[in-house]
Amino acid sequence: MHEVSQMIEEYDFGKIESKWQSYWLENGFYKAPSEIHDGEKAYVLDMFAYTSGSMHMGHARTYTIGDVIARYRKRQGYKLLHPMGWDAFGLPADMAAVKHGIRPADWTERNITRWRQQFTRLGMPFDWDSEVTTCQPDYYRWTQWLFLKLFEKGLAYRKYADGNWCPGCRTVLANEQAKGGKCERCDSIVEKKSLNQWFFKITDYADRLLEGLDKLDGWPEKVKLMQRNWIGRSEGAELIFPIKDGSGRSISTFTTRPDTVYGATFMILSPEHPMLPDLVRGTAHEGAVLEFIQRMRRSDRIEREAAEAEKEGVFTGKYATNPFTGEEIPIWTANYILMDYGVGAIMAVPAHDQRDLMFARKYNLSVRVVIYPREGNLSAEEMTEAYTGSGCMVNSGEFDGLPNDEAAQAIIQRAQKIGAGRKTVSYHLRDWCISRQRYWGAPIPIIHCDKCGMVPAAKLPVLLPPDVELTGKGPAPLSRVEDFVNVPCPKCGGSAKRDTDTLDTFVCSSWYFLRFANPHYEEAPFDAEAVRKWLPVDQYFGGIEHAILHLMYARFFTKALFDMGLVDFDEPFTNLFTPGMVTKDGRKMSKSKGNVVEVDDMLDKYGTDTLRLFVLFAGPPVKDLEWSDNGMEGMHRFLKRLWRLSLTLPTHVEARGSAPLQRQIHKTIRKVTENIERIHFNTAISAIIELLNAAYVQENDTAGVTDAVETIILLLAPFAPYISEELWHRRGHSDSVHHQPWPSFDPEIARAEETTVVIQINGKLRDRMVVPTGTTEDEVKEVALERERVKQWITGRKINRIIVIQDKLVNIVVDG
């Protein structure tokens, strides 16, 4: 058999796609079965779509990855739940309303319609009867219900906190609207204004959110690390310094280095510290300090925190006593001490903390070395860099000569004895601010009554009033709707006022995965019985940009619901996969950079199957993918070759194919199966391409070639669903290729010749592994880096180089 030249019908992807789209939708391809039994379910979830704007190439890639796994699990015989819905509240709809005068509800509906079409086109025939939409009353009534549950448990509370205030628009701005410290509408300088805001007490769960990560073996290390850093647990001590003004007051500080207390030569209060105004009241220093406080209120927090930022501060005129040295030390206030970490005050140890050293040099404050490195010593006068390492205690009274980590413990014990402090833990995690002074969100279901205080709304949902004029200026939109605001108090019947803030959209997305188990359930936010069957999510897919907030909040909700006895698991997502970004010319695609490749354009030009194959084949799904028109062409050619070959073959052959082709068929099934499991779709697809190449070469073996092509169609179906379905039917089958059992292989026949490869770390033998002979350099690197033994040696160290000698050795060169 040769490349056929006779007239063969062309590969008309447009026609094929529309035919199978409607077929799959009509047959309820992704409709979840209602009957499931233990151990046979697969809940494969993509983060639901945020309905601002439309689908871009990054979404197309992520959702395709999810779709492959969903289709594959179904083929393996799992009962599948693979739903889609809409994260439909949020700022962009408000902004569209202000800019274009369109109602947020209409704008959102229009976007959803478009998203549905794009999903369908991409070969993802979701069951639209079971979508959830967060801006619909039948959903947000339950978001409100959950808010009230948390309120009841004391996990939702109100306090004053700084918001972005635009004096020009006389309105509160979101961080996105106040970039660079200016109002995006009127360019006014944005000020900080204290607002009464709602919070969820996520900090109560800090330790459990941290411990929970240890059990999440199916999560990427990178994401777990980001969450750990965000929680930022530090063990240390609270040390208390009495103020020397006869008032009997003292200042509490948080330190992770109690061992350095003898080197504390001054103290610093955060400019926001509540004690600061009192401390200077009526003194000569009051003016300067108050002016500094004012200036800090307007400054940018991120800048203040930056390590290299210029340090500045003001002396308060007051002194405190170092409880260990008995010395008097001056009390300052400075920009780099923040109120919301630790307790908002520190003992400054310039010899051993770089920021304190920069500050001390600038203001001529004294420096005392209290730890010597193991070798050499330090001079307080000359040092330009703080010594932050470990070593031996000096200038520290009875603790001299101890290793500093031992001294730290001894000093804490002593502090405890003399009432000067204790051991404590501090977190970087802050409580979650959930109130927004905007329109397009779920109203906070609370009524404020002068007599009864904060009273939960008696009836849910508290409906968002449909017609509210949005100008982007003035007070919160809902506060201007009189008949929304003024209501009787549910408790005393007196006149009261509704809360006019709406909930952060992250609240809506913290529980939607529970709702999917039975999306139209009317008795509760989720159907406990259905949740018991389907949850937790077996495989979750979504962008790394959600690694911190969304995933942390969803975990927090799950733990809170677990504590209330409403669910019986406390981690929502067993396995997580975060695909890389799609880039062009080395940069993330974005409208402002003008490097966007439109999904629709590519679908028009090449069809869905080509696009899907390209985004899956161009590199491992975890890595960023660089867009390439050539890559698209290459995939398109592959599909055309498959099409042509398939159409020339008989639909049925009796004989068996030749041994070499048989062997390759079994090997291919094995390789594709293993690599789909590892979400290494690029490797899986390349094995399929190789099999097609082999089939073309074995021209005389019609039986073998037919067998190979039939196998290719079966294996390719999750990746390129349309062409596979079409060719499958043309080969005389009457049911869907997507309902065929996943092909199995004979391990005997599929066995590759194997080689043992040794793994070295910095030239030392650390592990061995068996791989198929001829495994490529890239593949062998990947496999090596995934091995447990190897991870033990390399985690936390920087990989400088990996040397591979094929079929023999991998040497990983790391720092330190």
Residues that bind ligand ANZ (CB under 6 A): 234, 254-257, 260, 270, 336-338, 341-342, 344, 346-347, 349, 352-353, 426
Nearest distance in Å: CB 371, ligand ANZ: 8
Cβ distance to ligand ANZ smaller for residue 386 or 503 = 386
Q: Is 186 in the site for Zn ion (CB under 5 A)?
A: yes
Shortest approach of ligand ANZ to residue 426 CB, angstroms?
6
* Residue 176, both tokens: 């996105």
Nearer to Zn ion, 95 or 378 (CB): 95
Measured from the CB of residue 398, what is the shortest distance to ligand ANZ in angstroms? 20
| Minimum distance, C-beta of residue 349 to ligand ANZ, in the bound complex (Å) | 4
Q: Out of 169, 407, 535, 757, point to the residue binding Zn ion (CB under 5 A).
A: 169
Comparing CB distances to Zn ion, the nearer of 168 and 772 is 168
Q: Give the nearer residue to ligand ANZ in terms of CB position, either 49 or 209.
A: 209
Residue 347 Cβ vs ligand ANZ, minimum distance, rounded to whole Å? 5
Which DSSP category does 218 fall into?
B
Q: How far is CA 597 from CA 412, 589, 749, in A?
A: 60, 8, 44
Q: Which residue has the tokens 């009787």?
A: 488
What are the start-end ranges of the E strands in 512-654?
537-541, 573-577, 582-584, 587-588, 625-626
Torsion angle in degrees (nearest 10) through CA of 793, 797, 798, 800:
-40
Token pair of 499 as six digits: 């809360």
Which listed option, Zn ion, ligand ANZ, none, makes contact with residue 183 (CB within 5 to 8 Å by class)? Answer: Zn ion
Q: Are 336 and 301 in contact (CB under 8 A)?
A: no
Compute the C-alpha angle 195/137/491, nearest 5°. Answer: 60
Q: Tell me whether residue 426 or residue 673 sits nearer to ligand ANZ (CB atom).
A: 426
Residue 206, phi then psi, degrees to nearest 5? -55, -50
Decide which of Zn ion, ligand ANZ, none touches 166; Cβ closer than 5 to 8 Å per partner kind: Zn ion
- Asked if residue 189 binds Zn ion (CB under 5 A), the reply is no
Helix (H) or strand (E) holding 498: strand 495-498
Q: Which residue has the tokens 């989720």?
A: 526
Q: From 176-184, 592-600, 741-749, 801-809, give the range in contact with Zn ion by CB under 5 A.
A: 176-184
Query: CB under 5 to 8 A by kind: which of Zn ion, ligand ANZ, none does 543 bind?
Result: none
Q: Which of 75, 79, 185, 273 binds Zn ion (CB under 5 A)?
A: 185
> Does residue 172 interact with Zn ion by CB under 5 A?
no
173, 257, 502, 513, 530 from 445: Cα distances, Å = 22, 45, 9, 22, 27
Instruction: Name which of 347 and 759 has its Cβ closer to ligand ANZ.
Output: 347
**Least CB distance to Zn ion at residue 403 (A):** 57
Q: Residue 504's binding partner, choosing from Zn ion, ligand ANZ, none, with beta-carbon cut-off 5 to 8 A by kind?
A: none
Cβ 323 vs Cβ 418: under 8 Å: yes
Q: Which two tokens stand for residue 217?
A: 């073996």
Choose among ligand ANZ, Zn ion, none what residue 602 binds, the Cβ cut-off being 5 to 8 Å by kind. Answer: none
CA of residue 97 relative to chain centroid, distance: 29
Q: How big is the site for Zn ion, counted in residues (CB under 5 A)?
A: 7
Q: Cβ–Cβ contacts within 10 Å for residue 43, how many? A: 26
Residue 692 engages Zn ion in binding (rule: CB under 5 A): no
Q: Which stretch binds Zn ion (CB under 5 A): 49-57, 152-160, 188-196, 400-408?
A: 188-196
Task: Kindly give the residue spans of alpha helices, DSSP state H, lying in 258-345.
Answer: 276-280, 286-298, 301-305
Residue pair 364/313 in contact by the 8 Å Cβ criterion: no
Residues in the chain: 816
By beta-carbon proximity to Zn ion, the closer residue of 192 and 640 is 192
Distance between CA atoms of residues 366 and 24, nearest Å: 76
User: For ligand ANZ, which is the closer residue by CB, 340 or 746?
Assistant: 340
- Supply the minimum distance, in Å, between the C-beta of residue 548 and ligand ANZ: 17
For Zn ion, the closer CB: 166 or 202: 166
Nearest distance from C-beta of residue 180 to Zn ion, angstroms: 13
168 lies in the site for Zn ion, by CB under 5 A: yes
Task: Give the C-alpha distances (Å, rounded to integers) separating 115 from 83, 128, 395, 616, 743.
Answer: 14, 12, 68, 21, 33
Interface residues for Zn ion in 98-137 (CB under 5 A)?
none
Q: Least distance from C-beta 172 to ligand ANZ, angstroms?
A: 25
Amino acid at 214: D
> How many alpha carbons fall within 13 Å on the CB side of residue 747?
1
**Least distance CB 304 / ligand ANZ (angstroms):** 9
- Closest to 663 in 3D by CA, of 635, 701, 613, 637: 701
From the CB of 373, what's the least distance to ligand ANZ, in Å? 13
Q: How many CA atoms lie within 13 A of 580 on its CB side?
A: 20
Q: How far is the CB of 36 from ligand ANZ (least distance, A)?
A: 47
Side-chain-side CA neighbours of 169 within 13 Å: the count stands at 27
Closest CA to 174 of 555, 542, 552, 506: 506
Q: Which is nearer to ligand ANZ, 366 or 479 (CB)?
A: 366
What CA dihedral angle connects 775, 63, 18 and 739, to 10 degrees?
A: 60
Q: Which ranges of 161-248 does DSSP label H, i.e. alpha helix?
A: 206-215, 221-231
Q: Which does 349 bind (CB under 5 to 8 A by kind): ligand ANZ, Zn ion, none?
A: ligand ANZ
Considering the complex, state which of residue 185 and residue 304 has its C-beta at the smaller distance from Zn ion.
Answer: 185
CA gyration radius, the chain: 32
CB atoms near residue 218 (< 10 Å): 14
Q: Which is nearer to Zn ion, 316 or 437 (CB)?
A: 437
Q: Which residue stretch of 139-147, 159-167, 583-591, 713-721 sits at the interface with Zn ion (rule: CB under 5 A)?
A: 159-167
Minimal distance, residue 334 CB to ligand ANZ, in Å? 9
Say how many CA atoms lie within 13 Å of 13 toward its Cβ: 22
Residue with smaller CB distance to ligand ANZ, 51 or 227: 227
Q: Between 187 and 340, name the residue whose CB sits nearer to Zn ion.
A: 187
Give CA–CA dist 17/608, Å, rounded. 8
Rounded to a whole number of angstroms, the minimum distance from the CB of residue 255 to ligand ANZ is 3
CB within 8 Å of 207: residues ≥ 6 apart: 233
Given the complex with ligand ANZ, which of 257 and 584 has the nearer CB atom? 257
Residue tagged 């902004």 (tokens):
95
H or E stretch covering 767: strand 764-772
Partner interacting with residue 366 (select from Zn ion, ligand ANZ, none; CB below 5-8 Å by kind): none
Least Å distance, CB 98 to Zn ion, is: 11
In the block, residue with structure tokens 């009261």: 496
Q: Which of 60, 112, 122, 166 binds Zn ion (CB under 5 A)?
A: 166
- What does the binding site for Zn ion look like in residue numbers (CB under 5 A)? 166, 168-169, 183, 185-186, 188
